[in-house]
Structure formats: C-alpha cells, structure tokens
Structure 1
C-alpha cells in the first residue's frame, strides 16, 4: 500500500463521516454545541486516527491509533443511540449508520489483530 488512502477501512470511515454530517444537519438547533458537536468529533476522529497511525514509523504506534479509532467509533455508536432515544433520528437512519459502523468495526478489529501478530 502506498498510502492510508488505499485502505478500505479509511475509505469507508470517510464515507461514514459524510453520511453522519448529513444526518446531524436535521438535529435541533439547540444541540449544535451538545450532541451534534460530540458526534462530529467522534466520527471525524475515526478516519483521522487511521490516517495518523498509518503515518507512524512503528507497528505498535499504528495499532495504538487504530485502537483509538475503534474507541471513537464506539463513542459515535453510543451517541447515535442517544440521538435516536431523543427522537433526533429515526430507526432507519440509526440502522443505516450502525450497519456501516459495524462494518468499519470489523475491519478495524481485523487490521489490529494482523498488526499485533
């Protein structure tokens, strides 16, 4: 691989951020600095940490950044569940984002396992 841009997990995470931003545009204006801000930060952190870890010189560092990305993914999943509980998004939107995030989760787990061998 020549670049982190070649990683499918990075590509999918960027795709997910785009989808996330479209979903949270419909959140109430009063959530701009609350849940909306938290979701933006956690979702962006996923692809950012994949890219940053790829750029590190050591496998151990790369694995650590992938674990941080996975933690941010779990944060985002939790935040969207809260958003759905507050009726900010519907069940279909939650299912769509969850399906994509679970796919990314599996890819991250696989990559982390390969690096740790």
Structure 2
C-alpha cells in the first residue's frame, strides 16, 4: 500500500463505509417493522464508525487521532450490540445479522491496528513537549 494521504486511503475507513451502507440496507427493513428508534440508533452508530476516522485523521495532533479512532472502534461494537436485539427479536435471518456483526469486529480490528501503530510511532519519539531550540529575549518583542 502506498502512502496514506487522505482518510479515504485508510482500510479501516473503507471498511466502515461498507458497514454504513450495509446497515442502511438493514434499516430499510426495520422501518417496515416500525422499529424507528432502533433503526435511528443503528444508523447513527454506524455513521460514527466512519466519520470518527475521518475527523481524527484531519486533527493536527496524533493523540487526537488516537482518541477519535477509539471512538470509532467503540461505535463498531455499539452497532454489534444493537444487532443482538435484531437477532434476539428474530427481526431478520440470524446468518445475515451474524455477517454484519463480523463486519463490526473487522472494522474494530482494522481501527485498533491503526491506533496501535500510531501510538507506537508516538512512543518512538519523545512524548514530552520540548522547548524550542531558539531562545527568545523579551526585547525581541518590544515595540519602540
């Protein structure tokens, strides 16, 4: 894989995008059964999986990116948990729900792998904030 320049290049974001579309397809069925609250929560949680990756990628600091990746992987598990309701209530074929739950686990695994890699890259460098090498003198900032 080449250099990652945009969040769209990230495999975890690509897989999250697939998950969102699959959840939206499922939601169409749920709305026929008048499960509006569950459908809405599934949509919002799945969207969160994808959008937190994008938002974190565009943050200035790597630690912020890690935080948003954590939100994303947590949202993937929220979707998986909500899918248990569908399975338990027999609203859909269990094999289809199981497939979606596996997608959630895959999204989480990809996201956690990226999170771990970014965390390791931070740890390779000093995590302490360093003062600039240039020493400033108060007179440099006074106006005459």
Q: Which runs of 4+ in 1 moved over 6 A?
A: none
CA contact (8 A) 2:42 2:79 kept: yes
Aligned to 1:25: 28
Aligned to 1:72: 75
User: How big is each residue's C-alpha offset from its partner over 1:24-75, in whole Å with a ceiling of 9 and x where there is no partner?
Assistant: 211144211x111100000000000000000001000000000001111111
Larger Rg: 2
Match of 1:62 among 60, 65, 84: 65
RMSD after superposition? 1.0
CA–CA separation in structure 2 for the residues paired with 1:26 and 1:100:
19
Match of 1:41 among 27, 37, 44: 44
CA–CA separation in structure 1 for the residues paired with 2:56 and 2:92:
32
Where 1:88 maps in the other structure, the secondary structure is: coil
Where 1:87 maps in the other structure, the secondary structure is: coil
- Is 1:109 paired with 2:112? yes
Instruction: Compare the two structures and name the one with the higher helix fraction.
Output: 1
Q: TM-score, normalised by structure 2?
A: 0.77
Structure number with greater CO (CA < 8 Å, separation at least 6) is 1
Q: TM-score, normalised by structure 1?
A: 0.94
The alignment of Structure 1 onto Structure 2 pairs a total of residues equal to 116
CA–CA separation in structure 2 for the residues paired with 1:49 and 1:110:
15
